Structure 1
Amino acid sequence: MTREQPPGAEPCAGSSTNPRAALYALCVGFFMICLDAPVVNVAVPDLRSSLGASLNSAVWVNSAYALSYAVPLILAGRLGDRYGPKRVFLTGLAAFTLASLACALAPGTAALITTRSLQGVAAALMAPQVMTLIVHLFPAERRGRALGVYGAVGGAALAAGPLLGGLLVTATGWRGIFLVNVPVGAAGWIAAYRLLPNRRPAREHRLDAWGIVLSSLGLTALVFGVQSGEAYDWGTVAGPVTIPGLLVFGVLCLAAFLGRQRYGTEPLLPLRLLHHRDFSAAALAGGAMGAAMGGLFLPLMIYLQGDLGYGPTAAGALTVPTFVLSSLCARAAGKRSDTTSPRLLAGTGFALLAAGVGTLAALLGPGAGGWPLVPPLLVCGIGIGLVSTPLAGVAVRTLEPGLVGAASGVFHTTRQFGGALGTAATGMLLEARVAGSAATATQTALLFPVAALLVGLGCCTLIRPTTPVRPG
């Protein structure tokens, strides 16, 4: 039996589309982009020694990816609305695979940073299409389970990243972490081409050129300023360009962007999207979640390696149970969100996360061991799983099909910007310490993710307490 297509869209190509198989094909690409950052983090020491790179250049290998990933997300969501999410997803996956090969062949640090930027843009093309296609593949009463798989894949990638990265670097050197993407990406592209429905918009959408320019400039300035402020001591970047100036410029560009969206006939960001209470609350909560995650693991890794003397792989391995549990809980939360209020699930997750991070901060006294940190980290894992899947479902559950692509782009943007803000804020707190051990500095820095999680919990109270539509 063919499922009825959403209004305002042409039918998906091929009534024989298998939603479950299509979901697994999507997950291959999503796993790759989620795995990328934790894998590269482990490779930084080998990368520095191999290329003779400075610490700042090595850090920019990941920062360039994060920046180029965050900025185009809104545009990428809208591209899916215009050209069809399958076409944009396949383009992004092909570009990501080729960029991975270019990263592996990079002769120096500058070339690697450039190819990592291209990899980030490709990832941005893919990410919003995953949520969009899930919405179109699954009816409301079955969507939570599908989003549970989506959340579980993200958790599994974060769990596998440190160990897989360590194994690849040990066996092949840093180039191996990029080369492995080539066969996986090629297989994922073939599977996605064969299994994903070719849903196309019912009418041709035009892209707002000025909106693209203003949003790109604004987000680039803001994300770069927040992400790199500490590296430049919140002062001069080059010549007359300063971090405060970039932040002000970014805010002005985004203000002009929003003004244009209000009066444009084909806005890049339809402002009526923000009138949906559930979407706005979920996007804000997602930003808070990103800030908390960005603010949690940076100081924790510094503490484990600075105070306790763990190596990078050992420090990463200590967090593996957290993300394994997160993956399992995301899958379970997806199933439950089909019959239980997602506000309750996400709110419980934020509360558990705040309790787990608060306990971590209390335990990190000078000379504390690593194993006592495992129980609160496991509580954090449960919280992460309970938050991620329900929030994604809430963000799109009341939207008409024509807004889903834009909504997915904005939702991912707030999460990425929150992560950059969290990393910058905790970095400032770590740098601001006058005296004391890494443990004392980490205790102070962890106050920021606790505060962000409480903000996220407050956002959850704005979500309508209704349960999803049940079948029959």
Structure 2
Amino acid sequence: MSTREELVQSPGAAGSVVVLCLAAFVVMIDSTVVQVMVPALTVSFDAGLDDVLWVFNGFVIAYAALLITAGRLGGMYGPRRLLLAGVVVFALASLAGGLAPALPQLVAARVAQGVGGAMIVPQTLTLIAAVFPAERRGAALGLVSATMALAAVLGPVGGGLVVATWGWRWVFLVNVPVCLAVVVLARRWVPSGGTAVRTRLDGGGVVLIGTGLAVVAYALVGEGRLLWLVPAAGLIAVFVAWQRRHPAPLMPPDVFRERGFLVAGSIGAVQFGVLAGLMLLVSVRIQGELGGDAIDTGLALLPMAVAAGVVSPVAGWLSDRIGGGPIMAAGMACLGAGVIGFALPALGTTVAALALAGVGVGLVMAPASTEAIRGLAPHLVPAASGMLNTARQAASLLGVAVIGGIAQHGPGAHPTAAAVLTAVALLSAICGLFLLPRHVSDDALTNRP
């Protein structure tokens, strides 16, 4: 049975995937587009680089801090309702950003965008879990993953073209009609996502984990702030203790009893960390050593994004049939090999290495999500989705911080950075191969010759 046939088995299923891809795309592309706007913003607001960077930092901190809470709220009030609310918040914040008269107002708009993005992204996994049975989710998750991979790379390229043609304000204003389209289409095609579980929100947990994650993000997005990780660790430790005593914890303990969630979720997070570190190495080589700009970096990364986009739906389809463990193991091995290939002195290996890394990314993204929620009860999926996305965001920031710290010692340190990324990737490959069970779908058994 083809991927397309699977997606149209339930009414509106294909339309739901389209809407969720579009919603994820607009969030992801705005998370990567700011780097090409920095020169224009410094001129427009007559501001220094440190001040302008808060246009990026404000988004990241708000986004990372609220993913867990937004996932839980999706379970309480319905994922479609949270998705729609998040899209509206994102649209209004984009409009405010495009019309911002001064830098503080733009930073505030970006924080609001981060809030909206945090409301949107966890609901995509929850809604796919509601629309598709466990043995049919991989293909849909593959399409969403492919969209996010493409958006991460197209952000600098498309954003650069928009800034050069119409100005930086249109990078934000163009989001408004896209968000309106998502709202209209979601109301028509996206189901409610099952029965909302109305429990009392863990307010203390929201404050503790939100503050702790915000401090973690603050520590990792800038230089010289790593000491902030100490109070962040303290807040998270208090949060864990709080969760053990709360009758309706923000992070239900039953989620952590599922081995698939722990192993697949960890591999998915590691993949994001390795990918972020690799993208930083690409940026350093293109913009630092070769004198290019952010658009050149985006173009250099395009083979990786295209490879990930092509492979991800196929990997998701395969994970429905044979389980995600072997696929993720192969993916992390390809990602590690791609990192090593990129670090080789011969620049002729760059395109092939990045394409191989993209194949690895495509092999991991959808199966990681599929396996993480495969064994979870439906009412646990919203909370799990928020935790998975939080782990991935934190791993991305950590990957940039670690590899940035190594790479700042000059080109001679790049092989060391690549070796660290490859070692982590290969260790994850071993975990995927041996720690996850092999699943075979009913269709695979029925169609076996």
Please give the range of the TM-score, normalised by the shorter of the 2 chains: over 0.9
Deviates more, 1:407-416 or 1:28-37: 28-37
What residue number does 2:336 align with?
A: 354
Query: Pairwise mapping of residues 156-195 of structure 1 onto structure 2 (< 5 A)?
Result: 156-195=150-189
The whole-number CA distance in structure 1 between the counterparts of 2:418 and 2:57 is 22
Query: Pairwise mapping of residues 17-416 of structure 1 onto structure 2 (< 5 A)?
Result: 17-201=11-195, 203-228=197-222, 230=223, 233-234=224-225, 243-244=226-227, 246-363=228-345, 369=347, 371-416=348-393
- Counterpart amino acid of 1:95? V
The whole-number CA distance in structure 2 between the counterparts of 1:331 and 1:372 is 26
What residue number does 1:5 align with?
A: none
**What TM-score do the two structures reach when normalised by structure 1?**
0.88
The whole-number CA distance in structure 1 between the counterparts of 2:400 and 2:80 is 33
Contact 2:126 2:193 in 1 (8 A): no
What residue number does 1:428 align with?
A: 405
Shift of residue 452, structure 1, vs aligned partner = 3.0
The whole-number CA distance in structure 2 between the counterparts of 1:203 and 1:353 is 39
Aligned residues: 436
Deviates more, 1:83-92 or 1:289-298: 289-298
Shift of residue 203, structure 1, vs aligned partner = 4.2
3-state SS of 1:71 partner? helix
Contact 1:300 1:442 in 2 (8 A): no
- Counterpart amino acid of 1:154? M
- Counterpart amino acid of 2:425? L
- Counterpart amino acid of 2:337? A
What residue number does 2:437 align with?
A: 465
Contact 1:17 1:196 in 2 (8 A): no
- Counterpart amino acid of 1:385? G
The whole-number CA distance in structure 1 between the counterparts of 2:220 and 2:34 is 21
> 1:22-50 CA deviation, whole Å, 9 max, x = no partner?
11111111110111123222222222222
Shift of residue 202, structure 1, vs aligned partner = 5.5
Name which of 417, 425, 442 aligns with 2:414.
442
The whole-number CA distance in structure 1 between the counterparts of 2:33 and 2:139 is 28
Structure 1 residues 115 and 275, CA gap change in structure 2 (3 angstroms): same
Contact 1:285 1:455 in 2 (8 A): no
The whole-number CA distance in structure 2 between the counterparts of 1:357 and 1:466 is 28
The whole-number CA distance in structure 2 between the counterparts of 1:440 and 1:51 is 37
Percentage of identical aligned residues = 37
The whole-number CA distance in structure 2 between the counterparts of 1:345 and 1:130 is 22
Long gaps (5+) in structure 2: 1-8
The whole-number CA distance in structure 2 between the counterparts of 1:454 and 1:63 is 31
Shift of residue 223, structure 1, vs aligned partner = 2.1
> 1:141-161 CA deviation, whole Å, 9 max, x = no partner?
221111111111112212422
Contact 1:292 1:453 in 2 (8 A): yes
What residue number does 2:3 align with?
A: none
Higher helix fraction (1 or 2) = 2
Structure 1 residues 362 and 16, CA gap change in structure 2 (3 angstroms): closer
What residue number does 2:423 align with?
A: 451
> 1:60-98 CA deviation, whole Å, 9 max, x = no partner?
211221111111111111001100000000000010011
Long gaps (5+) in structure 1: 1-14, 235-242
The whole-number CA distance in structure 2 between the counterparts of 1:316 and 1:202 is 41
> 1:104-161 CA deviation, whole Å, 9 max, x = no partner?
1112222211111110111000111000000010112221111111111112212422
3-state SS of 1:319 partner? helix
CA RMSD after TM alignment? 1.8
The whole-number CA distance in structure 2 between the counterparts of 1:38 and 1:271 is 34
3-state SS of 1:314 partner? helix
The whole-number CA distance in structure 2 between the counterparts of 1:164 and 1:418 is 26
Structure 1 residues 315 and 199, CA gap change in structure 2 (3 angstroms): closer
Contact 2:78 2:196 in 1 (8 A): no
> 1:210-234 CA deviation, whole Å, 9 max, x = no partner?
1111111211222212333x2xx34
**What TM-score do the two structures reach when normalised by structure 2?**
0.93
The whole-number CA distance in structure 2 between the counterparts of 1:207 and 1:461 is 38
